[in-house]
Structure 1
Amino acid sequence: MTSALPTAPPRSKLSLYLDLIRWNRPAGWLLLLWPSLSALWLAAGGFPGWHLVAVFTLGTILMRSAGCCINDVADREFDRHVKRTAQRPVTTGLVSVKEALAVGAVLALIAFGLVLTTNAATIAWSFPALAATLIYPYAKRHVSMPQAVLGVAFSFGIPMAYAAVQGQVPLAAWLLLAGNLFWVLAYDTEYAMVDRDDDFALNIKTSAITLGRFDVAAIMGFYAAYLAIWAWFITRHVTHPVLWLAFGAAAAQVAWHHQLIRHRTREGCFKAFRLNHWLGATLFAGVVLAFGLSRAAG
């Protein structure tokens, strides 16, 4: 007589909701946070104050979490056919569509409450930022490079940072956004390379499929454009040798990413994607130190 296999204990709703918002994967919100904080420092010409740092940090975490809810609802039928995403709570039915949307709405409302503590310009720009968040999950059905749509959504903290500090969004903010968009194209194409076979079978459009055999070369080009635009822009606002150390360290990370993705293995591409937040952190640290050291010297 064979004994029955043990069944897993039922999971609490809190545990499922934390999985829904990827609480155990902070790399996602860190990718949004570093360029937003860098923009705050650049817009303010140094430390922007703890209020704005807190608003943008908490707001980034909340909106990324809300975006995960929307994405999982939109992709629930696709996710069940992809090994990496098949166990997501909405896909398995452990969290209903209504629950996921309700969680996302609550998180977005809390984030909007934080925005209300800033100024009218930031509040106004929060609406197109939300629209970009809502549009992205559906872009992969219609756009050959949906990563570009994600790039806009993931970069909207930059114009909002300028709006929060200066009460307006100057051309400088859009230049930074354009540079950051190239970074998003780089790391999200690495991410798309992980699921390329599954996405191709499901007829989902991604940059990894669109770029084909030029994917690795394109990613390196995206990284180069990102670093070049940001180096040109930042050094026009603050100059200090520590900046070049930061950009050198960032370039070294890009070279490492090339080694990780050049054979196009799932493991290598996923590792490269997960470690991208260190590149953003490196440039943010360079910006903070450059302003701080320049002020101390002057």
Structure 2
Amino acid sequence: MTAASRPDLSDINLDDWVERRLPRAWRPYTRLARLDRPVGIWLTLFPCWAALIQASHGFPDIRQLLIFSLGALLMRSAGSTVNDIADRKFDGHVERTRFRPLANGQINILQALSFLAVQLALAASLLFFLSPYTRLVAICVVPLVFIYPLCKRFTHWPQAVLGAAFNWGMLMAWAEVAGHIPLGAILMWAGAIAWQIGYDTVYAYVDVKDDTRLGLKSTAILFGRHGKAIIGVFYGVAVGAWALGGWLLGMSLPYMLGILVIAAHLAWQTGRIDLVRPEVSYRLFLANILTGLLLAGAAVLGTL
């Protein structure tokens, strides 16, 4: 299929920098790691940075910032590879995912598994730079990374599992910087999970017709026509958890002003949700990059 006939909802642009600038052999692996679509990387990084800032009560150590940034990049990329391996027989039948490398036959399963092994090995190498306690916390997330792609077969809540795994770096940040994980940090992590259930449900509405036809499950299918209100509730839970968590962590008053800005932004998003317009859902999903940036900014304000 040519770029001209590419469906508007495809998450791969067949005329982007990957096609124009990279050697042909590199392209499928770049897409498998989602380096051409870095939104997920930013959505992983910003909450992790926020936790590092809060745990450090100021600008984090450059070494820690670099290690956690690389870790978020590698684990997000590895998680995407695991997801595409698990969904390779479904992705070809979904409008948004039909051009992914495994779905369209650009690479085979053995090549994808070999690439995954390299990603995991690189991520594991970072553990040598972390404390024993942080390594233990890090290892605990591995089952979630592999379970998530299978969840859509048996539960309507894969977004919750993804949220727990996606934001695990927040717990690791506290383990590394403070040597323990306080209640406030757990609340911040729980808030990030609620936020992700909200924005990933918005994203799931893009695929709801294809997922229903294929017998897959998601929060979008579960919420149905009530999705707008329920997403708003999850956004409200996120804001509340971040406010209470920040208070327990000793964040100063400007932090709460940052949380109010986040609340206003998420309220705006909720008001814009249109469940029957996938292109709007996709744009609102992307808008959460700003939410993550605001959370990291609020953490900075809270340490002043």
Fold match (TM-score > 0.5): yes
* 2-structure distance, mates of 1:93, 1:219: 36
Structure-2 separation of matches of 1:189 and 1:166: 33
Residues 11, 80 of structure 1: alpha-carbon distance in 2 compared, 3 angstrom cutoff: farther
Residue from 207, 211, 223 that aligns with 2:219: 207
Residue 158 of structure 1 is matched in structure 2 by 170
State which structure, 1 or 2, has the greater radius of gyration over its C-alpha atoms.
1
Q: Which residue of the partner structure matches residue 116 of structure 2? A: 104
Confirm whether residue 244 of structure 1 aligns to residue 256 of structure 2. yes
Residue in 2 that maps onto 1:4: none
Percent of aligned pairs sharing the same letter = 37
Q: Which of 291, 294, 299 is the equivalent residue of 1:279?
A: 291
CA RMSD of aligned residues (A): 1.8
Match of 1:133 in 2: 145
Deviation at 1:218, TM superposition (A): 0.7
The answer for the alignment partner of 2:85 in structure 1 is 73
How many angstroms does 1:268 deviate by?
Answer: 0.6
Q: Contact between 1:62 and 1:108, CA under 8 Å: does it hold in 2?
A: yes
1:83-121 deviations in Å (ceiling 9; x for gaps): 110000011111111111211221121111112201001
**Alpha-carbon distance in structure 2 between the residues aligned to 1:105 and 1:191:** 28
Measure, in 1, the Cα distance between the counterparts of 2:71 and 2:40. Answer: 13
Which residue of the partner structure matches residue 86 of structure 1? 98
Q: Does the Cα contact within 8 Å between 1:155 and 1:180 map onto a contact in 2?
A: yes
Cα 1:170/1:250, change in 2 over 3 Å: closer
Structure 2 match to 1:58: 70
Task: Give yes or no for contact 1:260–1:271 (8 Å, CA) kept in 2.
Answer: no
Deviations along 1:158-195, one digit per CA (max 9) or x if unpaired, are 11111111223333332222111101100110011110
C-alpha distance in structure 2 between counterparts of 1:147 and 1:105, whole Å:
25
Shift of 1:65: 0.6
How far has the Cα of 1:11 moved from its partner?
6.4
- Matched length: 285
Distance 2:135 2:253 in 1: 36
User: Deviation of residue 147 (structure 1)?
Assistant: 0.9
The answer (yes or no) to whether the contact 2:184–2:249 under 8 Å persists in 1 is: no
Question: Hey, what's the Cα distance between the residues in 1 that align with 2:74 and 2:154?
Answer: 27
Deviations 1:252-297 (A, max 9, x none): 2213312331353101101111121110111111211331xx3xxx
Paired residues of 2:183 and 2:248 also in contact (CA < 8 A): no
Question: Conserved in 1, the CA contact under 8 Å of 2:87 and 2:149?
Answer: yes
Residue 126 of structure 2 corresponds to which residue in structure 1?
Answer: 114
The unaligned stretches of length 5 or more in structure 1 are 1-7
For 2:153, what is the secondary structure of its paired residue?
Answer: coil
Mapped pair 1:33 → 2:45 = yes
Q: 1:27, 1:275 within 8 Å by CA — same for their partners in 2?
A: no
What is the CA-CA distance between 1:239 and the residue it aligns to? Answer: 4.4
1:241 positional shift: 4.6
In the superposition, the TM-score normalised over structure 1's length comes to 0.90
The one-letter code sitting in structure 1 at the alignment partner of 2:212 is: F
